[in-house]
Copies of this chain bind each other. A is one copy, B any other.
Amino acid sequence: MLAEITAEGRRQLARDGAAALSLRSVARELDMVSSGIYRYVESRDALLTLLIIAGYDRLGSALERAGADEGTPRERWRATCGALRAWARANPHEYALLYGSPVPGYAAPPDTIDPATRVYAALAAPLRDAPAPADRPALSGALATDGERIADGLGLTLPPAQGVALLGAWATLFGLVSLELFGHTHNVVTDHDAFFAHHVDALARGLGL
């Protein structure tokens, strides 16, 4: 039953976006009276959380699939990044729900952080077999420990500088996808494929892939 609710929720999310998702309409679609939904899902926000978790899971597995192919680390990086963009373009509302604006002041429910790190882990996987570039400057205090924490959280052994470089690469990646998806580059970039590929390669070089 709860599965049916999230499935219907996902359909409405994909069609009309998160703002238009209403508990009443999923109840209607499930031939249930509106109040009946509340036996299964506590509130609208709870349904959104469910959908966020499902979204991270689907995106994570898509990235894992894309990165599982044989190839050099750089090829796997390219494939993973390409899969991220492809998924975002295929599921814009879901992407917006995951990486767009939450209500600021909003604390992600703890249930979401595991699926969320799954996505990051998939993006980090190509680094596992590649040596970090040696010419990086050493890091100062807090940044160094943050870099270690990043690597630790992913279960990778990376130099701290590589960890913070990786997080920066993610920022670029999500920035690129968001700018494109949210229409901020419509008047400027014509060949989004080439543009994205260009920067993905630049990131790969920066990470030593």
Contacts and interface: CB of A to CB of B under 8 A. Distances in A.
Interface of A: 17-19, 92-93, 96-97, 99-108, 113, 116, 139-143, 145-146, 149-150, 153, 164, 167-168, 170-176, 178-179, 181-185, 187-191, 194-195, 198-199, 202
A8 to B, nearest CB: 20
A19 B17 contact: no
Nearest to A94: B104
A183 B143 contact: no
A171 to B, nearest CB: 3
B182 A102 contact: yes
Contact of A178 (B107, B150, B174, B190): B174
Contact of A172 (B19, B143, B171): B171
A100 B100 contact: yes
Contacts of A174: 175, 178-179
A146 B182 contact: no
Q: Report copies per complex.
A: 2
A interface, over-half SS:
helix
26 contacts: A17-B103, A92-B105, A97-B101, A99-B101, A101-B101, A102-B182, A139-B198, A143-B191, A143-B195, A146-B188, A146-B195, A149-B190, A153-B188, A164-B198, A164-B199, A167-B185, A167-B195, A168-B202, A170-B179, A171-B176, A171-B178, A171-B199, A174-B175, A174-B178, A174-B179, A175-B175
Contact of A104 (B96, B168, B172, B190): B96
A132 B100 CA distance: 33
A170 B199 CA distance: 12
Nearest to A187: B113
A104 B116 contact: no
Given A108-B183, A168-B176, 15 more contacts: A92-B105, A99-B184, A106-B183, A142-B190, A143-B191, A143-B194, A164-B195, A164-B199, A167-B188, A168-B202, A170-B179, A171-B172, A171-B179, A174-B179, A175-B178
